[in-house]
Amino acid sequence: AGLAQQAVVSTQSTGKKHSLGLDFPNLPYLIDGDVKISQSVAIMRYLGRKFGLVPSEADVARIEVFEQFLMDIRNSLSKVCYGDKEKFETAKADFIGKLAKQLEEVKGFIGDGPYAAGAKLTYVDFMALEFLSHCAAFSPESFENTAAADYLDRIKSLPALKNFYESENCTHNSYTINAPFSQWPGWPNKQ
């Protein structure tokens, strides 16, 4: 039997959310023809496969460990930034304390690189670029003179990305890192 027709039952009117044909309405979502997916990791892995940004078979397990390690860091940062106001300063200090060791681990993992899978650029390099850039905006001192910062610079200097950063409408000049209502939105061009 093929996959059963999904029946998304919504008991509340949530506007567009439940009318896009997503099995699990959420943000982010991706629509690519008939493919309709949510869950950021599923989207990243889909785009990775689509654009050839995948590791060789021998490297899959190692790269997936790095994928999840980066998700852990991002999720930890989210917990700090979306947590209670009273707990923010302590949570921030704890996070920064752990970050130093994690960046050492990134250095060990990447080695000479230039990318996570060595010579081959893969989707996890983009996860590292974005998630570690969030951490660098949150705690710039943690990244000073680190191999992790060099790794991020290498990815940022890819021609397509360079064009994006230099473009007039680069969203990084207007988007916050976290929601504006969070304890640390990460406004562009500000700490």
Partner 1 sequence: MSLKLGYWDLRAMGEVSRYLLRYSGVDWVDRRIPLSKEGYTQWFGEKYSIGLDLPNLPYLEDGEVRITQSIAINRYLARKFGLYPSAQESLVKCDMIEQEAQDFRVLFQNLIVKKQDEFEQGKPEFLEKMKKRLEMLDGYVGSGPFVLGDNLSYVDFMVFEYVSQIKKMDPGFVDGASNIARLLETIHSLPQLQPYFTSEEFKKGTPINPAFTSFSG
Contact residues toward partner 1 (CB under 8 A) are 1-9, 11, 23-25, 35, 37-42, 45-46, 49, 60-62, 64-69, 72, 75, 79, 105, 108-109
User: What is the smallest separation between the CB atom of 79 and partner 1, expressed in angstroms?
Assistant: 8
The Cβ-side half-sphere exposure at 90, using a 13 Å CA radius, reads 5
Indicate the residue among 103 and 152 with the shorter CB distance to partner 1: 103
Shortest distance in whole angstroms from residue 16 CB to partner 1? 16
How far apart, in whole angstroms, are the C-alpha atoms of residue 118 and residue 182? 36
Give the nearer residue to partner 1 in terms of CB position, either 45 or 92.
45
79 or 156: CB nearest partner 1: 79
Q: Nearer Cβ to partner 1, position 49 or 156?
A: 49
User: Residue 152's closest CA among 106, 187, 100?
Assistant: 106
Q: Are 128 and 106 in contact (CB under 8 A)?
A: yes
Give the length of the chain.
191
| The two three-digit tokens of residue 155, written as one number | 């990815």
Smallest distance, partner 1 to C-beta of residue 122, A: 14
Largest CA distance in the chain: 56
| Minimum CB distance to partner 1, residue 19 (Å) | 14
Say if CB 122 and CB 168 are below 8 A apart: no
Tell me how far, at minimum, the Cβ of 6 lies from partner 1, in Å.
Answer: 5
Burial of 29: CB neighbours in 10 Å, binned 0-12, 13-18, 19+: middle
The residue among 39 and 176 lying less far from partner 1, judged by its C-beta, is 39
